[in-house]
Structure 1
Amino acid sequence: MLKKANRLNHVSFAKNFATGKRIHNAYTTVIYAPAQGFAVAVVVSKKIYKKAHERNLVRRRFYTIIRNIIDSNRNIKGEYIFIIKPTIKNLSKKEFKSLITLEVGRTLK
């Protein structure tokens, strides 16, 4: 998990979801809004994974990748919402880590 300071709250989430700039990738849709600090949220729909433990597993893996990128580069600014697409189900654990690291790294820079 990320620190609470790096997670979006409900008010920021709703505002950014409605007005943020959308970037579509192969496995995610990213909603970006400029901000002074850094905050992020990961959304995994019930349409993709029916069971909560499956959604939480994907969310935890995603947050770990984001945390590693943040630790290596502290200059990242903005508020990001990552919406997971159904194509992510086709990835193995290794593919997930490598492809999502590349995708998130490109988005956050």
Structure 2
Amino acid sequence: MFKKAERLTKKQFDNFFKTGKRFQFQHLTIIYSQHPSLHASVVVGKKVSKQAVRRNALRRRIYARLRSEVKAKDSIGVFIVIVKPTYNAIGRVAADEFLTASIAETIKNT
């Protein structure tokens, strides 16, 4: 998880969700907005998995990968990751690699 100061409030989330630049990938969408500090949010809906335990595990895994990639590249801004239902079908290792590549491509294109 990110620190409380690095998480988005509902109002901020709505604002950045509407105005951010979208990067569409096969299994997820990343919305990026420029900001002087780092903020992040991960959305895993019920269509991805009906079980809350599974959704929370996916969310924690994505937060951890996002944190490591963003910190390694010293990137700042607002990152909103929206997971698509197809993400659940791929394996854990493949999902990790896909997520890493998606975040790297998003950072490179901003």
Deviation of 1:87 (Å):
1.4
Structure 1, unaligned stretches of length 5 or more? none
Larger mean CA deviation between 59-68 and 90-99 belongs to: 90-99
Deviation of 1:53 (Å):
0.7
Alpha-carbon contact 2:70-2:76 (below 8 Å) kept: no
Root-mean-square deviation (Å): 1.3
Q: Which residue of 2 aligns with 1:80?
A: 79
Larger mean CA deviation between 57-66 and 7-16 belongs to: 7-16
Question: CA separation of 1:108/1:98 partners in 2, compared to 1, >3 Å: closer, same or farther?
Answer: same
Q: Which residue of 1 aligns with 2:30?
A: 30
Cα distance in 2 for partners of 1:43, 1:37 equals 20
Cα distance in 2 for partners of 1:98, 1:32 equals 20
Alpha-carbon contact 2:6-2:40 (below 8 Å) kept: yes
Deviation of 1:4 (Å):
1.8
- TM-score, with length taken from structure 2: 0.89
Alpha-carbon contact 2:66-2:103 (below 8 Å) kept: yes
**SS in structure 1 opposite 2:46?**
coil
Q: Which residue of 1 aligns with 2:106?
A: 107
Deviation of 1:44 (Å):
0.5
Letter in 1 for 2:93: K
Q: Which residue of 1 aligns with 2:63?
A: 63
Matched residue count = 108
**1:92 maps to 2:91:** yes
Identical aligned residues as a percent:
35
Structure 2, unaligned stretches of length 5 or more? none
- TM-score, with length taken from structure 1: 0.89
Cα distance in 2 for partners of 1:46, 1:38 equals 27
Deviation of 1:66 (Å):
0.9
Q: Which residue of 2 aligns with 1:5?
A: 5
Cα distance in 1 for partners of 2:32, 2:70 equals 16
Cα distance in 2 for partners of 1:47, 1:73 equals 32
* Superposed CA offset, 1:59-106 (max 9, x none): 0010110111133122x1211211101111121111111111111122
